[in-house]
Amino acid sequence: MIKQKNSVYSPTERLINGVFKENPIFVLVLGICPTLATTTSAVNGLGMGLTTAVVLALSNVIISLLRNVIPDKVRIPAFIVIIASFVTMMELILQAYIPVLYNSLGIYIPLIVVNCIVLGRAETFASKENAILSFFDGLGMGIGFTIALTIIGAFREWLGAGKIFGFHAMPSNYVPVTIFVLAPGAFFVLAFLTAIQNKIKILGTRNGKDMSKIGSGCNDDCLNCPDKNGCDHSFYDTSVNDKSEIKEDTNHIKNSLPVIENNASDDVKIEDNINNAHQSKPERKDNTGKKDDSKKSAVKKDTTKKKVVKDNVVKEYVEGDIAKEEPAMEGLVEGDITKQDIAKDEISKKVNIKKEAEQKAGSGRKKITAKQQKEIKEDEKKAKEAEYRSELDAYSSTDEDSEESEGEK
Amino acid sequence: MKNMLKDALILMAITLVAGAFLGLVHEITKKPITQQQEKAKTDAYAEVFKDADHFTVMEGFDTDQALSVLHENNFDNEKITEVMMAFDKNQQLLGYVISVDSTEGYSGDIVFSMGVSLNGTINGVSVLSISETAGLGMNAEELLAPQFAGKNVDQFSYTKDGATIESQIDAISGATITTKAVTEGVNAGLVYFRTLSTGGNEND
């Protein structure tokens, strides 16, 4: 993976992100199995959360350090080996020094291995960013997880057993509602808590408060999601295009803002055009300058990836190897695939036309009038949109809603 | 092909290093874990036999023999896993601590130890391992175990309508299976205890 310079992330930002923006339970809704199972009491939730937090932070660090060593093809088994090792170590340590917690959590300690948050963070974050950021990312996620589990546990214990942290917290004539300490109760409490915090965020936005710091990570549309590259991260074999990818990346860094008049190769220019097209788009729901910046660089990063991805997609279609496609595409019927194919062809045609147009303009690129530039931009924008649309088609129906529902990712 | 081999080697290296670290942690925690387990056991023994000063493993205890005794008495789902002898300060035998594994639990085995005085009175019951439904069967330790203490009866039975006589145990509402498993387990322990005490008498 390429080292991301001028990263949009910082340790504190990562901590806040894990606790509020992308809280694993209330926003991402990941790792629900241990959440439902271990939150029968506040203490259990706390213990489970802290154990997971330690595993998350440590495995993130190791995976981040090894991110340039681990081959892309075997990264999932490699991640799992690392995560499983930490979980087993935690299990042994708990058994040796905190047996009470070990006994109450039981089977759910070894099950942290298959907790999707841990693998999810390894895949979307630690395998791309440096060790320090990854540590804080894991820690933030872990703390968010711990807080969520403790709150859920406290509510369930309070309603289901009349206690909080083992202390009586209800009038003595209160008859505990046993269902709250059973599995269904976990769903009820989780649903209510998620609804409440969503309501708070919505009300805050409506009253004009700046919710960008605690707003859900998926508040904005997917197109501008700073983590979008997390969604399409190397389900493709990117090794073939490694060189061109690096070249483009350095170009991006050199010309911090892409301009048509630069001297790089045609390919890069087209990419830059696409960038321009993106940036000329009216920003939605966006009021803070900082966020704007992060989005720009995210889009940049995104397009670089997109380019590679697109190449691969085309290549793989030619080879007729659909199995290598994104998992989401596996569910496609044949008709969809051809539709997809045609859409891709159209895009590449358009891109070719653009290339020609640029070549016609000759060496003196400065001669391109503002009007022409605008036209090119428009075209690029259209092409890009068409591509996104065709991609959206490819996703399963649940993903189509993801722009509206903030909880989904 | 070359790449594949390289990938495999890297993965193997990672696995080896991870294995080495696991071995290290295992070595470090081995001793504390055995200590903790021992401590948990002695705590459980002390809890079910408060008068006793120390415990020793009963010599000549045979799980198969114990199992056949239980089978003869129609206890097919219980096992005696361990028998300890409880002594007071003057090396006087006070009774036995019998660990019973009941496989009839709602989800998995329920293991508990019971302290029985020589005259057949149950001193206490303490659950060692249980994985029943949280909020229901999991309360066996708090709700069921105390009901056995201090009673001297041949056989326990459970009831849902409130215990009226000494040999009756109040079932946990919503966890009848757990109640049954524990009660049957205690009965099995008592049956085995009687073979112990009669055997002991014969030796005298």
Nearest to A181 among B26, B33, B134 (CB): B134
pLDDT of chain B along its 204 residues, tens only?
778 899 999 999 999 999 999 999 999 999 999 998 888 888 888 888 887 778 888 777 888 888 888 888 888 888 888 888 888 888 888 888 888 898 888 888 888 888 888 888 888 888 888 877 766 777 788 888 888 888 888 888 888 887 778 888 888 887 888 888 889 889 988 888 888 876 544 443
Asked if the Cβ–Cβ distance from A99 to B134 is below 8 Å, we say no
Are B11 and A77 an interchain contact pair (Cβ–Cβ within 8 Å)? yes
In a domain, B129, yes or no: yes
pLDDT of residue A141: 93
Of A2-16, A55-69, B147-161, the range with the lowest mean pLDDT is A2-16
Whether residue B59 is contained in a domain is answered as yes
Q: Calculate how close chain B gets to A405, using CA atoms only, in Å.
A: 33
Lowest-confidence segment of A95-99, A393-397, B18-22 by average pLDDT? A393-397
User: For residues A132 and A13, which has the higher predicted lDDT (pLDDT)?
Assistant: A132
| Chain A residue with Cα closest to B130 | A103
Rounded distance, CA A9 to CA A31, Å?
A: 24
Closest CA to B117 of B48, B58, B166, B54: B48
Weakest mean pLDDT among A4-8, A23-27, A69-73, B42-46: A4-8
* CB proximity B142 to A under 8 Å: no
Angle at B180 between CA B179 and CA B185, to 5 degrees: 100
Residue from the list B14, B32, B40 with its beta carbon closest to the beta carbon of A78 = B14
With residue A201 as reference, give the H or E element that holds it: helix A183-206
Domains in chain B, number: 1
| Residue B3, in any domain of the structure | no
- Residue B123 has a pLDDT of 87
* pTM of the shown model: 0.59
Residue with tokens 């803070």: A288
A78–chain B nearest CA distance, Å: 6
Mean pLDDT of chain A: 70
The partner residues of B126 in beta bridges, in order of sequence, read B113
Residues of B in contact with A107 (CB under 8 A): 131
What mean pLDDT do residues A207-233 have?
Answer: 56
Segment A321-341, tens digit of pLDDT: 444 444 444 444 444 555 555
Tell me what the mean pLDDT of segment A255-276 comes to: 50
Which DSSP helix (H) or strand (E) runs through A349?
Answer: helix A334-360
User: How many percent of chain A have pLDDT more than 90?
Assistant: 17
Q: In chain B, whose CA is at the least distance from the CA of A103?
A: B129
Among A38, A67, A73, A240, the strongest candidate for a mutation testing the B interface, having the largest count of B CBs within 10 A, is A73
Using CA atoms, how far apart are residues B168 and B190, in angstroms rounded to an integer? Answer: 15
Chain B from 143 to 172: CB within 8 A of any A CB: none
Q: Is pLDDT of A125 > 80? A: yes
Nearest residue to A117 via CA among A192, A26, A194 = A26
pLDDT tens, residue by residue, A358-383: 555 544 444 555 666 667 777 777 77
Using a CB–CB cutoff of 8 Å, tell me whether B16 touches chain A.
no
Please report whether residue B16 resides in a domain. Answer: no
Tell me how long chain A is: 409
- How is B46-68 classified by DSSP, letter by letter? HHH-TT-SEEEEPTT--HHHHHH
Examine the pLDDT at A65 and tell me if it is beyond 90.
Answer: yes
Q: How big is the CA angle at B18 (ends B17 and B22), to the nearest 5 degrees?
A: 115
Q: Report the pLDDT averaged over residues A70-90.
A: 91
C-beta atoms of A95 and B133 within 8 A: no
> Greater confidence, A324 or A91?
A91
Stretch 93-132 of chain A: residues touching chain B, C-beta under 8 Å:
93, 95-97, 99, 106-107
Of B8, B14, B133, the CB nearest to A182: B133
pLDDT given at position B9: 92
Do the domain assignments include residue B74?
A: yes
Compute the distance between CA of residue B192 and CA of residue B67 in angstroms, rounded to an integer.
9
- Return the residue of A nearest to B10 by Cα: A70
- The whole domain housing B119 covers 48-197
| Res. A54: pLDDT tops 80 | yes
Q: Residue A350: its pLDDT value, please?
A: 64
pLDDT band of A82, cuts 50, 70, 90 = very high
Question: For residues A215, A218, A220 and A222, what is the CA-based torsion angle, rounded to 10 degrees?
Answer: 170
Chain B residues with CB-CB distance to A74 below 8 A: 7-8, 10-11
Of B36, B131, B133, the CB nearest to A96: B36
Nearest CA in chain B to A107: B131
Which of A71, A85, A106 is opposite residue B21, by nearest beta carbon?
A85
Query: How many CB atoms lie under 10 A from the CB of residue A166?
Result: 11
Q: Is residue B168 part of a domain?
A: yes
Residue B96, H or E segment: strand B93-102
Give φ, ψ of B162 to 5 degrees: 95, 125
